[in-house]
Amino acid sequence: MIRSSRIAAWVASIALLAGCASPYGPHGATGGYKDTKIDDSTYLVRFDGNGNTPREKVWNYWIYRCAELTVTNGYQYFAQMATEQPKTLWDEDTGWHMQNTKGYVAPTYIYVPGSTVYTYHASAVIHMFKPPLPTDVSYAIDAPVVMEMLKDYVTSGGTKPAPKREEVLQRAGVRFGKPS
- Is 107 among the domain residues? yes
- Is 58 among the domain residues? yes
- Is 98 among the domain residues? yes
The predicted pLDDT at position 106 comes to 56
Give Cα separations from 51 to 70, 95, 122, 148, 160 (angstroms): 28, 17, 14, 28, 20
- Is 67 among the domain residues? yes
Find out whether the peptide bond into 131 is cis, omega within 30 degrees of 0: no
* Structure confidence by residue, pLDDT tens digits, 7-25: 444 444 444 444 588 889 9
Residues above pLDDT 90, as percent of the chain: 55
Residue type (1 letter), 88: T
Distance CA 106, CA 157 (A): 21
Segment 66-81 shows an average pLDDT of: 96
- Is 3 among the domain residues? no
Query: How many domains does one find in the chain?
Result: 1
- Is 6 among the domain residues? no
- Is 13 among the domain residues? no
The predicted pLDDT at position 4 comes to 56
pTM over 0.85: no
DSSP state of 26: B
Q: Which domain holds residue 90?
A: 26-179
Distance CA 50, CA 60 (A): 14
Distance CA 12, CA 32 (A): 22
Distance CA 24, CA 61 (A): 6
Segment 53-70 shows an average pLDDT of: 96
Coil, strand or helix: which one is 24? coil
Alpha carbon 125 to chain centroid distance? 11
* Structure confidence by residue, pLDDT tens digits, 109-150: 555 677 777 889 999 999 999 999 998 898 999 999 999 999
165 near 97, Cβ under 8 Å?
no
Nearest to 100 by CA among 138, 65, 53, 134: 138
The predicted pLDDT at position 82 comes to 59
**Residue 156 pLDDT level (bands cut at 50, 70, 90):** very high
- Is 109 among the domain residues? yes
The predicted pLDDT at position 13 comes to 42
Q: Check whether 43 has a pLDDT greater than 70.
A: yes
